Amino acid sequence: MSASRARTRHDAVRIIEAKRDGRELDDDEIDWIVDGFTRGVVAPEQMSALAMAIYFRGMSDRETARWTAAMVGTGTRLDLTGLTRGGRLVPTVDKHSTGGVGDAITLVLTPLLATWDVAVPQLSGRGLGHTGGTLDKLESIPGWRARLDAGEMRSVLSRTGAVICAAGADLAPADRDLYALRDVTGTVPSIPMLAASIMSKKIAEGTGALVLDVKFGSGAFRPARADAEELARLMVGIGQASGVRTSALVTAMHTPLGRAVGNALEVAEAVEILDGGGPADMVELTCALAREALAAVGIADADPHERLTDGRAMDSFRAMIAAQGGDPDASLPRAAHTEELRAPGPGRLTWDALGVGRASWLSGAGRSRPGQAVDPAAGVVLHRVEGDEVAAGDPVATVHAGDPGRLPAALEELRGALGVDARPAGAGARGRGPAGTVVGVVRGW
């Protein structure tokens, strides 16, 4: 059936009613309403009502895959076939995280993967709320720019093998408008719509292979492990159906990854990892994702740890930053004001990821609405991490802020995120393990 005939047959109210009553939408209905919303034929309040109906009624795998394809179809799909490095054709592979606290993995993983004969087209976004945005982090590097057109992106990939940049407005534009509605109507956590949102952009960017980091825990969009596993299964299925070789790691986000939560603070930690050091949880998850991504493009028995310690990953990072106008030798911004948080008593320490993320947001590192400026130097540095033994009065974290007026609220939030269990190990004290622990793998290949 042609698009014009489908438009005359369908009606937004009837589609909303169908989903409200639990009926599975057919392909024509999905194509029509996504296209109609993009063109302004379907009113925002109607799409909001449908989003709420989907939130409560869900979508089948077929509906979700079709919804994803319809959103991809509202814009262009990048063609990265025939991409070469050093005169040789190379496969493309990308990574996506569902969002977390202190999750600067992309800053390390992208240049690390590029030390092999692959190209990594990482289209990233900005932070909203307690989760940080990759572009916000990199913009703390003087001169670095997020916006590249398709030709520039391809050129950087050919020269360095790695690019991290903003998605163009013509990639799955329906998702951008629909996400804005979901954000103000409480429907962001819908698993089918979350899967379609993520995968529409990744499919549109043209990558040949994709590894997903799907998080659960207090710092994740969906705290329950079962929800994360369902989201991983759904996204892998969508990717495979779209011709993208896809797999997913399900990982823990009950406590922050690494020690830094902010923008420049996370860049500094990423550089530390690229220099062969850094927090063990960040290193281990980076290497696990690297092995998965490389396996997806047929590179077996890779040793990511070696390339983090022998200088190759750092060289790749510096080349990637310079190719996008950044100065890899420039000093990062530093906050004018800091204040320490100390342990209230002795025991084994825990951190709640959501609370730490909110503390960083309150310090000025995040935004509460799209387009709002962030403080590149603001955030939280943890001196002691989950499972560490502390004594009363030990410094456990420092809040960084450009505006001293932000410190009290950020410290209060951080204090609420801190737990100290005085019971000895083995007597019931909590031991949840580090952030980034891989609890499951879903593969479509």
**Rounded CA separation 225/216 (Å):** 5
**Rounded CA separation 442/212 (Å):** 9
CB 379 within 8 A of CB 400: yes
Structure tokens given for 154: 């391809």
**Rounded CA separation 57/223 (Å):** 20
Structure tokens given for 250: 């399900």
CB 326 within 8 A of CB 239: no
Give the CA-trace dihedral at 46, 48, 51, 55, to 10 degrees. -130
Q: For CA atoms 153, 156, 160, 163, give the dihedral sign.
A: negative
Residue 410 three-state SS: helix
**Rounded CA separation 434/417 (Å):** 16
| Active-site residue set | 96, 175, 182, 197, 201
Classify strands 88-89 and 84-85 as parallel, antiparallel or unpaired: antiparallel
Q: Is 185 buried (19+), middle (13-18) or exposed (0-12) by CB count in 10 A?
A: middle
Say which residues have a Cβ less than 8 Å from residue 268's Cβ, sequence separation at least 6: 260, 332
Report the interhelical angle of 44-57 vs 27-39 (nearest 10°): 140
CA angle 169, 173, 178 (to 5 degrees): 130
